[in-house]
Structure 1
Amino acid sequence: MPSVSGTDTTASQEVRIGSWRVLRFVDKGSYGLVYRVEHTKGLPSGTYALKRAIYPGDERFAREKELLARLNHPNVPGLQDSGEWTDAQGQRFPYLVLQWVEGKTLYEWAPKGMLTSRQALRLLAQIARALQVTHLHGVHRDVKGDNVRVNEQGHAVLLDFGACGYPGARPLTDTAIPPGTELYRSPQLLRFRYKFRRSPEAHYLSRSEDDIYALGVMAYRLVTELYPPPRTEPECTDDPKRPLPARLLAPSDWASVAPVLDRLILRMLSEEPEARGTAEQLAQEMEEAAASTEPALDRPIIPDPCQVETERATRPGPPRERAHLLRPLPLVALLGMMVVLLVSRPAPHPWEPLSEPSEEPLETGRDGGSVALGSTALASALPGGVGPVELRAVSLDVPSRPLKGQKRAPCESRELVEINGGCWVHGGGLKPPCDRDWYEWEGRCYWPFMVRERPPTSEEP
């Protein structure tokens, strides 16, 4: 039988995995290969996604199978089959066959400058419903935009349950915290990691509130094109000389977000887990809001060109100065460009898989477990531009010394990389050409970890 290791499935010989005929190779993630397959006997009919482990005996596949077998929901991929494929050396590789999911990742799908608050609410409500049924049995643990796929009709599916947790599941890692994506981690998890950084036997117990916080990060990123700053930097409590984390600004401070959506996003990002609400509560509130006749819900979400940085409002993380890039543009000219591009913008096109997939490990990559079904292989970089106006620039080489305002070495966190005396956050396996405001170093993309000065002890009311 031909090898089933990647792109060699284009050979003329028929390739089978169990009862499934491989039609084509789709993608490669940190822990899995994805193929588009059909049943050899046509039962069931149609095409499906087969995820096969890269490493023999990978426990993530049994974990994903265990949870998906309990879920039956339109916003979760249906489990069709599972088994093990044996290679020529006798190694056994688990695989899953799941519903094929068409569409684009969430951030790719969202039409820049044309997404409305009503559309965003409908999308987020679907993901919340997927979490609602998930939380009846466990937790997802890697909720992010790359793990949500949206088709042209606006139907969203939450993917990639390979890092999930449920009662009785064994830890996937020997670290204090479970697998996941750094920008989406809750304040409680960050504090636990710092508190038990020297205790290898400690393991954080993920809760549904952690998924809700990640949903809030996703929503913030969807409407502002920015990631919110981390809600905590626990090392600041041990060292009062450390700069405080950046202040969280409301999404409406960055873009024309309807008030109800603004409140819901801030609620999901609450410091206190109990204040975030359950997935069911949030889904119901989002659905009710989306069904209202409020005119503000139908206005396009466009970043505010008048937003500038002040002493009391600093940008929450990279890419760095979007407002700075806009200052040289007169407001009238900017609005004129936006009108022209809104009229001429082409309709969304069907998803096509990209090449050059990321092969970074889980803790540093885009992938929260095994690869997402039909997903593009590259992580979604922070997009540039304001609405439909694309103000793009080429990426830069990492400078020979830290940037102004950048955290300097030592970089205590494992998620930070020390380069030329400064602390940098890696781009999850992104390779050049990097997006604007990212920096290149030894064939990888990075952005600077910025800190801010402590605010004055008194502020204006």
Structure 2
Amino acid sequence: MPSPRAPELNPALLPPGTVVGSWRVVSWAGRGVHGVVYQAVPVTDEHAVPTALKLALLPRDSRFAREVELLSRVRHLCIPRLRDSGTWQHPGDTLHPFLVMDWVDGTPLYDWAQQHSPSSQRVLRLLAQLARALQAVHAQGCLHRDVKGDNVLVRHSDGSALLTDFGSGRFPDAATLTPGTLPPGTPAYRSPEACLFELQFFRDPRAHYAAQPTDDLYALGVTAYRLVTGQYLEFGDPIRDASGTWHLEGLVSAAPLALNPSLDPQLNALILRMLSMRPEQRGTAMELACALEQAAQCSSPESTPSCLGPDAAARVGPPTRAPPRQGLFAAAAALMVWIIWVCGSTPLNVPAPPTVVRQESDAAGLEDGGTSGLGDEAVASSVAPSVPSVSGEPAESTLPEPLPGQTRPNAKGRCPHPRQIPLNGGCWVKTSVDREGCEALTGTMIDGNCYVPVATRERQPTSHPVCTP
């Protein structure tokens, strides 16, 4: 097959037959923020079982070297095996790193649950497999830092759950690639301690949250909660004590069993354990895996009918949005939006960072898209931009009408804080979270960015019941 001409080659859309290292592209498989995945086979054996070839969209992207190093340290049946890595030279002479892993023929976790309506026992076994995968990661001193349903595939052949996408992961002594207070990850799955850290130190350029294994376990708990209820967690309002330290009132979301009476009580208890506000109460990945496996053994398919019930499609499809006021604080990421809302007029006395704060040099000189988009320059336009969709996702051409309780621009068309954007009669914060995180924040996706409504400063009643599926 003749090689495509140089101007036709785009790392995001390589045609079949393109050679990358010692691999030949078979087909396009998917795209993320920083890389694109292809099915590929060895150049020397085009009838071999396909592998997953992940190619960097940006030249010399150091994230790939870090992912390769992390995957080379971890081996587990529930983590795709690293097969190869290298650099592909574009005909235009730019160098794009790539890595090759086992191809996982599977379905993303939430989609799989919607299709199969698994029993509580089945969910317990899947969560145990993921906990074992995290145990293997943590045993090497590594972290995943982006555990969520979209990064879990349920393999068709045997129904096993595999933890994928280690692009946000970290291994000991790895260089920091992400500017800002928090490491990369999905806001809706961030732990309470990470969100409080951001709230406490967001103005300190030296502060950088050091994620821990318990952050991964909390994210697994959010994944499980979302899996069996179709909803994201809601935090209570953050409060500041007399010493200037921020605290969370706790989770205001109902227990999974209250939203889903079909749930096994043991599964309910273990999800709540993973979601503990105190990290030490979550235990270790090994302890959690043992508890999940024991709970699965003590149950039986006959005694644990589908934990999703007859309305599974509605429950684990697009997540249920919280009421407008609660939606702004529904996920951990809402705290970051809340910072921008409150810091415009409320002075924060930022104490010196604790021992978990450290300043690390950006050895690669690269920025990670992650969740650092809150500092985007404000837009003075009064209407939302009309733009085409990106990455194959549908884009909405206009923002919805302002929500009840949303901050409105003043008579001059300005919002209370420079980082708030006046659009369509309301004040919004523009972030770079993905679509799933945007939905958790009651936001709207436009041109690949999430526009989140800003709440008014008046405290709303919190005594109304939590929505049920």
Do they superpose with TM above 0.5?
yes
Shift of 1:139: 0.5
| Partner residue, 1:333 | none
Equivalent residues of 1:61, 1:94 under 8 A apart: yes
Aligned partner (choices 263, 267, 291) of residue 261 of structure 1: 267
Whole-angstrom CA distance in 1 between matches of 2:320 and 2:299: 36
Whole-angstrom CA distance in 1 between matches of 2:242 and 2:403: 24
Whole-angstrom CA distance in 1 between matches of 2:440 and 2:66: 38
| Partner residue, 2:147 | 143
Corresponding residue SS for 2:298: coil
Equivalent residues of 2:428, 2:451 under 8 A apart: no
| Partner residue, 1:181 | 186
| Partner residue, 2:204 | 199
Corresponding residue SS for 1:6: helix
Corresponding residue SS for 2:91: coil
Shift of 1:65: 0.7
1:434-449 correspondence runs (5 A): 440=444, 442=446
Structure 1 gaps, min length 5: 306-316, 322-359, 366-376, 381-394, 457-461
Corresponding residue SS for 1:362: coil
Aligned partner (choices 249, 253, 260) of residue 254 of structure 2: 249
Whole-angstrom CA distance in 2 between matches of 1:119 and 1:378: 32
Q: CA RMSD in A?
A: 3.9
Shift of 1:263: 0.5
Q: CA separation of 1:200/1:126 partners in 2, compared to 1, >3 Å: closer, same or farther? A: same
Q: CA separation of 1:7/1:442 partners in 2, compared to 1, >3 Å: closer, same or farther? A: closer
Whole-angstrom CA distance in 2 between matches of 1:284 and 1:103: 25
| Partner residue, 2:307 | 301
| Partner residue, 2:322 | 320
Corresponding residue SS for 2:73: coil
Is 1:45 aligned with 2:51?
A: no
Whole-angstrom CA distance in 2 between matches of 1:225 and 1:378: 24
Q: CA separation of 1:295/1:35 partners in 2, compared to 1, >3 Å: closer, same or farther? A: closer
Whole-angstrom CA distance in 2 between matches of 1:224 and 1:439: 20
Structure 2 gaps, min length 5: 312-318, 324-367, 374-390, 410-414, 464-469
Is 1:80 aligned with 2:83?
A: yes
| Partner residue, 2:460 | 453
TM-score when scaled to structure 1?
0.70
Equivalent residues of 1:190, 1:234 under 8 A apart: no
1:401 aligned partner, one-letter code: P
Shift of 1:199: 1.4
* CA shift digits 1:387-433 (9 cap, x unpaired): xxxxxxxx9964543324x577878898x9765434568694549xx
1:144 aligned partner, one-letter code: K
| Partner residue, 2:12 | 6
Q: Once the two structures are aligned, what percentage of the paired residues are identical?
A: 37
| Partner residue, 1:329 | none
| Partner residue, 2:105 | 102
Corresponding residue SS for 1:274: helix
Comparing 212-221 and 45-54, the one that deviates more: 45-54
Is 1:111 aligned with 2:117?
A: no
Shift of 1:233: 3.2
* CA shift digits 1:258-317 (9 cap, x unpaired): 110000000000011110011111111111111124578522224799xxxxxxxxxxx9
Larger RCO: 1 or 2 (CA < 8 Å, sep 6+) = 1
Shift of 1:238: 8.7
Aligned partner (choices 263, 272, 280) of residue 274 of structure 1: 280
Comparing 78-87 and 106-115, the one that deviates more: 106-115
Shift of 1:87: 1.6
Corresponding residue SS for 1:131: helix
Corresponding residue SS for 1:110: helix
2:322 aligned partner, one-letter code: R
Shift of 1:244: 6.3
Q: CA separation of 1:6/1:233 partners in 2, compared to 1, >3 Å: closer, same or farther? A: same
Equivalent residues of 1:319, 1:447 under 8 A apart: no
Comparing 66-75 and 216-225, the one that deviates more: 66-75
Equivalent residues of 2:428, 2:453 under 8 A apart: yes
2:291 aligned partner, one-letter code: E
1:17 aligned partner, one-letter code: V
Whole-angstrom CA distance in 2 between matches of 1:236 and 1:304: 46
Q: CA separation of 1:172/1:427 partners in 2, compared to 1, >3 Å: closer, same or farther? A: closer
Whole-angstrom CA distance in 1 between matches of 2:167 and 2:81: 14
* CA shift digits 1:79-99 (9 cap, x unpaired): 000111112232211110000
Whole-angstrom CA distance in 2 between matches of 1:45 and 1:280: 36
Corresponding residue SS for 1:21: strand
Q: CA separation of 1:267/1:297 partners in 2, compared to 1, >3 Å: closer, same or farther? A: farther
Whole-angstrom CA distance in 2 between matches of 1:284 and 1:320: 34
Q: CA separation of 1:282/1:440 partners in 2, compared to 1, >3 Å: closer, same or farther? A: closer
Whole-angstrom CA distance in 2 between matches of 1:413 and 1:48: 48
| Partner residue, 1:20 | 23
Equivalent residues of 1:244, 1:454 under 8 A apart: no
Shift of 1:45: 3.5
Equivalent residues of 2:143, 2:212 under 8 A apart: yes
Corresponding residue SS for 2:215: helix
1:7 aligned partner, one-letter code: L
